């Protein structure tokens, strides 16, 4: 199997096409206009309204509150995106809606609004998978990439690794079997009373800590341990979506999965103490949570989480290279790819292996609508449209999450 055999089908988007993207899958209401120009998706506007102030007091997203806030914010965001893009007399060609996966009430708002805009403009709607869209972040306003690529999505809801032939042709290599990495960061930050959302706060606090102070477990899953863990095969037998291939590339290779719940429990024990076990000597009480100890816990937890991601990435790369299928590019997306330590390690990974690592700017790492509109350009070029019966779906066909 050679790399040349995996070229993306010739569906190059058309210059001048303008797509309005809408994103409401979780707690960000976003709208964006993306134009195809000079061989790449160009961001004309990127309007986003985060709901952190609403959910902070609950230390997590409250779905009903999220849906209500989307309802209030979606029209202002679309107006803002259109105003900022300054379209003059140019017409929007399609409306792209992030319709899966996500919180169903939140998705419903973007789905209804997007269809209403498409109907009133007389243009097609295009339903977009949020996970796949994250992987276009490194293509925005950037030179075209060489394929095949490795694609890493690391966010609050997902930790997925893919092998990609193109933006719409992806095969699942591995995914978390429990918590998503961002979820683990957020829960760790809550445990350490850092605030919400925890990922960026834990990232900032880590700079004052020693990443070697506490040893957190870095799991490495074997095919056997995963099977014994009782997971099923559904994600590796994901359905094929129209025009896209979602099938396992390293069949039944579960060793490229991730797990973050053990690290989270280890942090809980480090903070609150190990629970006593009958007939065993009483465990030592936890060390006092001084400011320095908190910083050390942050830095060590972050190092262990990043270490696991890098370990899986390196093994995926080596396995593909051994099959004469060496990735030329690494695409990353999702809020956690804004993490400074992870970005430094990803850049090092690229230098060591001579692969083009695309590290998107922070506003395209987190949830945004530009990535939704960008991915829709390839579907538009292939003539793959949805209609006004497009429905929101809580799950993705790309793998269990
Ligand atoms: O992609 P995203 O905006 O939403 C989902 O699709 O989930 O990702 C949000 C996640 C949150 O868990 C947040 O804490 C995490 O990304 N995050 C970070 C950083 N910035 C955002 N995690 C670690 N370090 C950061 N700098
Ligand atoms: Zn996301």
Nearest CA to ligand 1 atom 16: 335
User: Among the atoms of ligand 1, which is closest to the Cα of residue 366?
Assistant: 3
User: For 363-380, what is the mean pLDDT?
Assistant: 97
> Ligand 2 centroid to 152 CA: how many Å?
12
Asked if residue 170 has its Cβ within 6 Å of ligand 1, the reply is no
User: For 190-209, what is the mean pLDDT?
Assistant: 96
For 38-62, give the DSSP string.
TTEEEEEEEEEEE-HHHHGGGTS--
Give me 383's structure tokens: 């003539």
Which class does domain 146-214+290-360 fall in?
A: alpha beta
Confidence of residue 1 (pLDDT cuts 50, 70, 90): very low
Give me 14's structure tokens: 């058309």
Site to probe by mutation for ligand 1, drawn from 133, 180, 199 as the one with most ligand atoms within 8 Å of Cβ, is 199
Residue 186 has pLDDT above 80, yes or no: yes
User: Among the atoms of ligand 1, which is closest to the Cα of residue 367?
Assistant: 3
User: For 193-217, what is the mean pLDDT?
Assistant: 95
Asked if residue 106 has its Cβ within 6 Å of ligand 1, the reply is no
Confidence of residue 88 (pLDDT cuts 50, 70, 90): very high
**Residue 286 confidence (pLDDT):** 87
What is the residue-averaged pLDDT of the chain?
89
Residue 128 has pLDDT above 90, yes or no: yes
Residue 4 has pLDDT above 60, yes or no: no
Site to probe by mutation for ligand 1, drawn from 153, 336, 339, 368 as the one with most ligand atoms within 8 Å of Cβ, is 336
User: For 77-98, what is the mean pLDDT?
Assistant: 97
CA 162 to CA 13: how far, in whole Å? 23
User: For 308-329, what is the mean pLDDT?
Assistant: 96
Confidence of residue 223 (pLDDT cuts 50, 70, 90): low
Query: Can you tell me whether residue 330 is helix, strand or coil?
Result: strand
Domain with CATH 3.30.420.40 in the chain: 9-141+367-401, 146-214+290-360
User: Among the atoms of ligand 1, which is closest to the Cα of residue 204?
Assistant: 26
DSSP 239: P
User: Among the atoms of ligand 1, which is closest to the Cα of residue 186?
Assistant: 14
Residue 69 has pLDDT above 90, yes or no: yes
Give me 156's structure tokens: 């609050």
Nearest CA to ligand 1 atom 13: 199
Are the C-beta atoms of residues 23 and 131 closer than 8 Å to each other?
no
**Residue 282 confidence (pLDDT):** 82
User: Among the atoms of ligand 1, which is closest to the Cα of residue 25?
Assistant: 6
**Residue 222 confidence (pLDDT):** 67
Nearest CA to ligand 1 atom 8: 335
**Residue 269 confidence (pLDDT):** 94
Q: Please tell me the number of the ligand nearest to residue 28's CA.
A: 1
Give residue-wise pLDDT tens across range 228-258: 333 333 233 333 333 333 333 444 467 899 9
pTM: predicted TM-score of the whole model, two decimal places: 0.90
User: For 383-395, what is the mean pLDDT?
Assistant: 95
Burial 94-111 (b: 16+ CB within 10 A, else e): bbbbbbbbbbbbbbbbbb
Confidence of residue 283 (pLDDT cuts 50, 70, 90): confident
Are the C-beta atoms of residues 21 and 367 closer than 8 Å to each other?
no
Highest mean pLDDT among 225-234, 281-290, 294-303: 294-303
Write the CA distances from 308 to 30, 218, 221, 277, 311, integer angstroms.
Answer: 31, 6, 10, 29, 5
**Residue 253 confidence (pLDDT):** 62
Residue 11 has pLDDT above 50, yes or no: yes
Q: Please tell me the number of the ligand nearest to residue 155's CA.
A: 1
Instruction: Count other Cβ atoms within 10 Å, centred on residue 141.
Output: 16
Asked if residue 367 has its Cβ within 6 Å of ligand 1, the reply is yes
Higher pLDDT, 20 or 397: 20
> Ligand 2 centroid to 158 CA: how many Å?
7
CA 272 to CA 289: how far, in whole Å? 10
Confidence of residue 275 (pLDDT cuts 50, 70, 90): confident
Asked if residue 337 has its Cβ within 6 Å of ligand 1, the reply is no
> Ligand 2 centroid to 286 CA: how many Å?
35
Write the CA distances from 229 to 187, 216, 226, integer angstroms.
Answer: 22, 20, 5
Give residue-wise pLDDT tens across range 26-54: 999 999 999 999 999 999 999 999 999 99
Superfamily of domain covering 9-141+367-401: ATPase, nucleotide binding domain (3.30.420.40)
CA 289 to CA 294: how far, in whole Å? 6
User: Among the atoms of ligand 1, which is closest to the Cα of residue 365?
Assistant: 1
> Ligand 1 centroid to 209 CA: how many Å?
20
């Amino acid at each position: 199997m050679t790399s040349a055999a995996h070229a993306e089908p010739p569906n190059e988007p058309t210059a001048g096409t303008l797509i309005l993207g809408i994103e409401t899958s979780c707690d960000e209401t976003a709208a964006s206009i993306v134009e195809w120009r000079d061989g790449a998706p160009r961001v004309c506007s990127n309007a986003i309204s985060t709901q952190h102030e609403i959910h902070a007091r609950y230390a997590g997203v409250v779905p009903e509150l999220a849906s209500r806030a989307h309802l209030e914010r979606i029209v202002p965001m679309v107006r803002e995106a259109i105003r900022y893009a300054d379209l003059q007399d140019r017409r929007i060609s399609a409306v792209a809606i992030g319709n899966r996966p996500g919180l169903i009430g939140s998705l419903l708002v973007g789905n209804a609004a997007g269809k209403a805009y498409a109907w009133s403009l007389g243009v097609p709607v295009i339903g977009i998978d949020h996970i796949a869209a994250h992987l276009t972040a490194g293509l925005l306003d950037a030179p075209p990439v060489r394929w095949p690529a490795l694609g890493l999505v690391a966010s609050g809801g997902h930790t997925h690794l893919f092998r990609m032939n193109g933006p719409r042709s992806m095969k699942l290599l591995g995914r978390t079997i429990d918590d998503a990495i961002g979820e683990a960061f957020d829960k760790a930050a809550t445990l350490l009373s850092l605030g919400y959302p925890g990922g960026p706060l834990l990232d900032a606090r880590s700079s004052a800590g020693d990443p070697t102070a506490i040893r957190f477990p870095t799991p490495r899953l074997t095919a056997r341990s995963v099977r014994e863990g009782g997971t099923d095969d559904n994600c590796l037998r994901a359905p094929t979506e129209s025009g896209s291939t979602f099938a396992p590339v390293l069949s039944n290779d579960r060793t490229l999965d991730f797990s973050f719940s053990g690290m989270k429990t280890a942090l809980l024990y480090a903070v609150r103490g190990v629970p006593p076990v009958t007939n065993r000597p009483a465990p030592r009480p936890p060390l006092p949570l001084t400011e320095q100890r908190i910083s050390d816990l942050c830095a060590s937890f972050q190092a262990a989480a990043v270490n696991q991601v890098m370990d899986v990435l390196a093994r995926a790369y080596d396995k593909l290279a051994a099959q004469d299928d060496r990735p030329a590019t690494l695409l990353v997306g999702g809020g956690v790819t804004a993490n400074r330590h992870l970005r430094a390690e990803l850049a090092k990974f690229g230098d060591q292996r001579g692969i083009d690592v695309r590290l998107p700017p922070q506003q395209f790492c987190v949830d945004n609508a530009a990535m939704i509109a960008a991915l829709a350009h390839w579907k538009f070029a292939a003539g793959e449209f949805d209609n006004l019966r497009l429905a929101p779906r809580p799950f993705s066909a790309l793998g269990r999450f």
